[in-house]
Amino acid sequence: MKCSEILKYLTELYPLELAMDWDNSGFLIGRKEKEVKNVLVVLDITNDVLDYAKANGIDLIVSHHPIIFSAVKKVTDETLLGNYILKILRNDTSVIAMHTNFDIAGGGMADICSERLGLSNTSVLEITNEIEEEKLGIGKIGDLEREVSLDELIELVKSKFGLKKLAVFGRTNVPSKIKRVAISPGSGKGMYKYALKRADVLITGDITHHDGLDAVNDGICVIDATHYGLEHLFIDKIKSDLDKCESIKVFEFKNTNPVEII
């Protein structure tokens, strides 16, 4: 398959028009008409990822987070991004990013995470799009299969997302039994406002000291499962999608989490 054919396939599943205005999803680096045999799926592009790509003859990297977010005025070996781009071009590798379009699209990040928790009666946390009267957006709110305590919910999140540790803000803000929860994979800065008075707990990532203070004082509990902790499900889903293309071999690289909570 060509890069352009893989891009077309992925964007039919996760349309680029759903992406947030500030995002930079899509075909970012390389040759669209390059023939692709080996594809690597990752959350982030790092030096370790690029070394792995070179060693395994990877033609195309499909990442969740765009390697290029804003305008680039020069590409040299004097910057980290410049070195990334030079390595990618030197190895004749192409790059596609499926970011907020994947987060928002039906069957994408929001749906995967809510299904992982077994949520029912779901609705969108932050509505960003409406297509044929279907509301789409960032995150989900829904009901757990049964009422649980906060400690039980914490263990459920750890189990379902393969996590060892979590951070909790506002433990005293939760009722004795929790039924309705919100989940917003990735960076949850400010997302607690969409969950206020709609959910007992918000599960998200990247909560800073001041974000946590604001959430606690506004009366909601937030579980910080880290940015990587929830979004790593992207890798399995995109690999599963691409495995349906018989002419390519799909690799995955999962060890890009920069956070280790001891």
User: Strands 221-224 and 201-205, how do they pair?
Assistant: parallel
Q: d(Cα 78, Cα 73) in Å, to the nearest integer?
A: 13
How many CB atoms are located within 10 Å of the residue 75 CB?
Answer: 15
Asked whether residue 231 is marked as a ligand-binding residue, the answer is: yes
- Phi, psi dihedrals of residue 87, rounded to the nearest 5°: -60, -45
- Tracing tokens 């995955």 back to the chain, one arrives at 252
According to DSSP, the β-strands at 94-97 and 26-29 are: antiparallel
Provide the 8-state DSSP code for 163: -
**Alpha-carbon span 141 to 183, nearest angstrom:** 6
227 is in an annotated binding site: yes
Handedness of CA 209, 196, 227, 151 (dihedral sign): positive
C-alpha span between 178 and 189 (Å, rounded): 22
The Cα 121–Cα 200 span in angstroms is 15
| Residues 207, 54: Cα–Cα separation, whole Å | 35
* 99 annotated binding-site participant: no
Token pair of 229 as six digits: 């902790």
| C-beta separation of 64 from 241 below 8 A | no
User: Are 203 and 161 within 8 A, CB to CB?
Assistant: no
Q: Binding site, residues?
A: 64-65, 103, 227, 231
Q: Binding site for a divalent metal cation, residues?
A: 64-65, 103, 227, 231
